[in-house]
């Protein structure tokens, strides 16, 4: 087994920088001719995985859409994750977990421990209780050679007031998170860090005072339906580290029969 950072670098080099969302919105299920049911979510997810395999670097299931169906929805998610693990796709669980102490440790064990049915390659986490609150999750990720993507500067406009707020060091909150993540990656002494940042494709990182570290990967949602342009990927994030361009609705909206052409077009754009 290799570290998540190394696997991510290889996947973006050998396939593409594309990360396809698995977001079974109720309106997308209707568009696909599916019921809003756990079995439909399972079918939806498996169809996306089949289309993305061999093309995208990763898939990103949005956990909330499965949780809304309770235990049956989580069983469907477990099946989707198992299928994704059987492919060569990296799997990023978009769960945005964050807490302190034993609670955050339990989240890490649920998503990062190989024995768990929810085991994934990487997990999105929230550090707005302080990066130090995630210490045990960082340890678990390193222990199991998994990755984390820490929310930093996102595309949703209501987040800016917090992310642009300044700390007693004079840095913005977002810049502090970016710096502390970079320090964790450097301390791990890996060729490529396994802790990344979530940075929205509709923001300018310099407006947040963020320095993109060459050892820190990026997960960039906000392309497509939210207004970000795939053509601008490297201009937005000028770093030698892997940058995953996350697309969901702009691909999923093509329906099951249009997934492969939509993914191929996105791959061609990010690879140009």
pLDDT digits (tens, 9 = 90+) for 84-108: 999 989 999 999 999 988 999 999 9
pLDDT digits (tens, 9 = 90+) for 138-178: 999 999 999 999 999 998 889 889 999 999 989 999 999 99
b/e code 154-185 from CB counts within 10 Å (16+ = b):
bbeeebbeebbeeeeeebbbbbbbbbbbbebb
- Does residue 225 register a pLDDT over 80? no
Amino acid 218: pLDDT: 98
In the chain, the percentage of residues whose pLDDT exceeds 70 is 100
Question: Which pTM does this prediction carry?
Answer: 0.96
Can 60 be counted among the known catalytic residues?
Answer: no
pLDDT digits (tens, 9 = 90+) for 98-146: 998 899 999 999 999 999 999 999 999 999 889 999 999 999 999 999 9
Let me know the angle formed at the C-alpha of 42 by 37 and 43, rounded to the nearest 5 degrees: 95
Rounded Cα distance between 267 and 138, Å, is 31
Rounded Cα distance between 244 and 221, Å, is 8
Residue in 96, 113, 249, 254 annotated catalytic: 96
DSSP 8-state code for residue 138 = H
């Amino acid at each position: 087994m290799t570290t998540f950072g190394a696997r991510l670098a290889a996947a973006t080099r050998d396939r593409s920088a594309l990360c396809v969302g698995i977001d079974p919105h109720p309106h997308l299920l209707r568009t696909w001719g599916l019921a809003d049911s756990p079995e439909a979510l399972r079918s939806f997810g498996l169809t996306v995985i089949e289309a993305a395999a061999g093309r995208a670097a990763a898939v990103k299931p949005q956990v909330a859409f499965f949780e809304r169906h309770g235990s049956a929805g989580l069983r469907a998610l477990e099946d989707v994750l198992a299928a994704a693990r059987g492919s060569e796709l990296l799997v990023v669980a978009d769960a945005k977990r964050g807490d302190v102490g034993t609670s955050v440790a339990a989240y890490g064990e649920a998503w990062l421990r190989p024995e768990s049915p929810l085991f994934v390659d990487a997990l999105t986490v929230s550090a707005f209780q302080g990066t130090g609150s995630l210490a045990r999750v960082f340890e678990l990720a390193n222990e199991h050679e998994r990755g984390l993507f820490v929310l930093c500067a996102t595309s949703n406009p209501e987040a800016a007031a917090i992310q642009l707020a300044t700390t007693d060091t004079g840095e913005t909150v977002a810049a502090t998170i970016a710096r502390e993540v970079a320090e964790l990656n450097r301390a791990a002494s890996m060729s490529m860090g396994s802790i990344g940042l979530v940075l929205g494709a509709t923001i300018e990182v310099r407006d947040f005072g963020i320095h993109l570290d060459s050892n820190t990967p990026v997960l960039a949602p906000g392309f497509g339906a939210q207004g970000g342009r795939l053509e601008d990927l490297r201009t937005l994030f000028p770093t030698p580290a892997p940058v995953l361009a996350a697309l969901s609705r702009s691909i999923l909206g093509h329906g099951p029969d249009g997934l492969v052409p939509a993914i191929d077009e996105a791959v061609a754009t990010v690879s140009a």
